[in-house]
């Protein structure tokens, strides 16, 4: 089965046999697709396009979990991430690679992903871009966060109260047991309004979104391991 051109990004690639690449892509119309790109020399123009953060047009043939790439062209200029932001881009790529099922389309998430890359490539602070993408990813996967009402009573959150966010239910005020992620009503409501400028909101949001994502990951993310290693290195 041949597929017409579809907008896509490369999430990851690795060598496959002698002159081919195994490419994990995120496509607007088809979701996550695994492709084999055959007969690529080191200087091939097609090979140079198969890199993360470049908007592409792709087509392929075949069925099943692994299909054969038949066409590739640049759809636009790539997003040029500064060295200190490259790991953040690879982090959101790894989230998609690990959490998205194959061949399920997520067109809204594709738009959110492109927007996240645009923000990471801009002079804007990167933390809001990451938290915003994590929240949208959870929502698109069906694990959306409850950000405006308590889970047990349905009451509107109070910005001056503190809650325990229980991942299976949502925020609870004064739960009988202290299981969950502590977070303020102010931060939850700020997340609901997409107001991510307050450092306290960002700190609490990071703890919440990372915990929510970890609940659906079967093993730690490699990009987080790399970040922790870099943070332990002495300054030059």
Q: Please state, in angstroms and rounded to a whole number, the distance separating the CA atoms of residues 126 and 228.
A: 18
Q: Please state, in angstroms and rounded to a whole number, the distance separating the CA atoms of residues 129 and 233.
A: 26
pTM greater than 0.85:
yes
Structure confidence at residue 174 (pLDDT): 81
Q: Is 12 exposed, middle or buried (0-12, 13-18, 19+ CB in 10 A)?
A: middle
Q: Kindly list the averaged pLDDT for each block of 10 residues, start to end, along the chain of length 236.
A: 89 87 96 91 78 96 92 94 94 97 96 98 95 97 96 95 94 83 97 96 97 94 85 56
Cα pseudo-dihedral 155, 156, 160, 164, rounded to 10: 60
Q: Which domains does the chain have, with CATH numbers?
A: 6-74 (2.40.50.140), 83-232 (1.20.1440.120)
């Amino acid at each position: 089965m041949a597929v017409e051109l579809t907008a896509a990004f490369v999430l990851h690639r690795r060598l496959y046999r002698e002159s081919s690449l195994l490419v994990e892509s995120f496509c607007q119309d088809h979701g996550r697709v695994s492709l084999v790109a055959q007969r690529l020399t080191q200087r091939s123009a097609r090979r140079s396009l198969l890199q993360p953060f470049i908007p592409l047009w792709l087509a392929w043939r075949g069925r099943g979990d692994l299909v054969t790439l038949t066409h590739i062209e640049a759809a636009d200029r790539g997003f040029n991430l500064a060295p200190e932001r490259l790991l953040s881009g690879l982090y959101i790529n790894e989230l998609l690679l690990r959490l998205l099922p194959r061949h399920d389309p997520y067109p809204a998430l594709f738009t959110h992903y492109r927007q996240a890359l645009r923000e990471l490539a801009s002079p804007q602070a990167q933390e809001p871009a990451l938290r915003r993408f994590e929240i949208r990813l959870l929502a698109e996967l069906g694990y959306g966060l409850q950000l405006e009402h308590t889970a047990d009573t349905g009451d509107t959150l109070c910005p001056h109260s503190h809650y325990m966010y229980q991942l299976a239910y949502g925020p609870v005020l004064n739960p009988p047991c202290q299981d969950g992620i502590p977070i303020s009503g102010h931060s939850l409501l700020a997340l609901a309004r997409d107001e991510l400028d307050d450092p306290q909101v960002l700190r609490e949001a990071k703890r919440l979104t990372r915990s929510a994502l970890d609940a659906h990951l079967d093993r730690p993310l490699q990009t987080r391991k790399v970040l922790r290693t870099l943070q332990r290195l002495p300054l030059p």
